[in-house]
Amino acid sequence: MKILITGGAGFVGSHLADRLISDGHSITVIDNLSTGRYQNVEHLEGRDRFRLIIDTVLNPTLMEELIRETDRVFHMASAVGVKLIMERPVQTIETIFQGTDVVLGFCSRYRKRVLIPSTSEVYGKGISVPFREEDDLLTGATNKHRWAYACAKTLDEFLALAHWKETRLPVAVVRLFNTVGPRQTGQYGMVVPRFVKAALDNEPIEVHGDGSQSRCFGHVSDIVEGLVKTLENPACFGEVVNLGNAEETTIKALAEKAVAMTGSSSEIRFVPYEEVYGDGFEDMQRRVPSLEKAGRLLGYKPTRTLDDIINDVAKELRMESAAANSE
């Protein structure tokens, strides 16, 4: 098949491109490289079944052409990372919702099967753990900029499901929970690569808040498997499905594990949220997915642990450091 991946030079999108090319599909990636990186897909350049277009999903003329000629669309383009969200809330909102509006509009016009990734952030300050897809959503006040991302993604979900309701557009929504692995950078606040890099460099690891907040980290290879299965299963059309891993750890424990697994001498420092992000930030204490629906619809079951994630991230960072030192 011909498959379009928006944001395909990003962390998850590039792993998705690898998987789909290995399955024999022809892949077109569109990415403006604002948060994606060319080196994520550089190894695919020159292949007959791969095409990279450096442009934005907000270019409607180009997007109409790309969607019309494709069989499947994975709309992975998005603003990402807590740091970016706090620093550029306007860009966050416009990039997410306007891009999704363009993609869904043309997928509806040409009846293309499309996957819309959402985020565990939409659960907001919910306290009913584990989070289930049918749970009520509870976000914070509009003057707390952290929630701009969650609300924009929630609007994406409403729009996708509205297209399903009105025209039966074959669209599925997945809520991703803290996806981690090789190619992810700590540039926009992603905690695992940030912690592991600091540990490898024997530099202080900065934990925001008191570290008691917990998260569940899913390996990107498990997530990609779920994404592919979701779009190929008509039972997922018009549905929202959680994808991630239910192995819960506190951020303090994550920092300690990064130190232990890398043999680091790094100290762990606790930094107040306002010192990192300024005013307008709120965090949620726990974020744990229910994977029952993904298991029932997709047979989804994560196979890689947090230890696997840290080992894979550390391996990549060591290789990058060795390559840089040899130049």
Which residues are annotated as catalytic? 149
Q: What whole-number distance in Å separates Cα of residue 87 and Cα of residue 89? A: 6
Q: How many residues does the chain have?
A: 327
Q: Closest by alpha carbon to 252, among 216, 206, 288?
A: 206
The half-sphere exposure of 180 on its side-chain side, counting CA atoms within 13 A, is 27
The CA-atom distances, in angstroms, between 51 and each of 5, 69, 165 are 10, 13, 33
Pairing of strands 171-176, 240-243: parallel
Helix (H, G, I), strand (E, B) or coil at 289: strand
Query: For residue 310, what is the enclosing H or E element?
Result: helix 306-326
Q: Name residue, tokens 């779009």.
A: 231
Ramachandran bin of 89, using left for φ above 0, alpha for ψ from -120 to 50, beta for the remaining angles: alpha
| DSSP one-letter string for 194-244 | HHHHHHHTTPPEEEETTS--EEE-EEHHHHHHHHHHHHT-GGGTT-EEEES
DSSP element (H, E) containing 12: helix 11-22
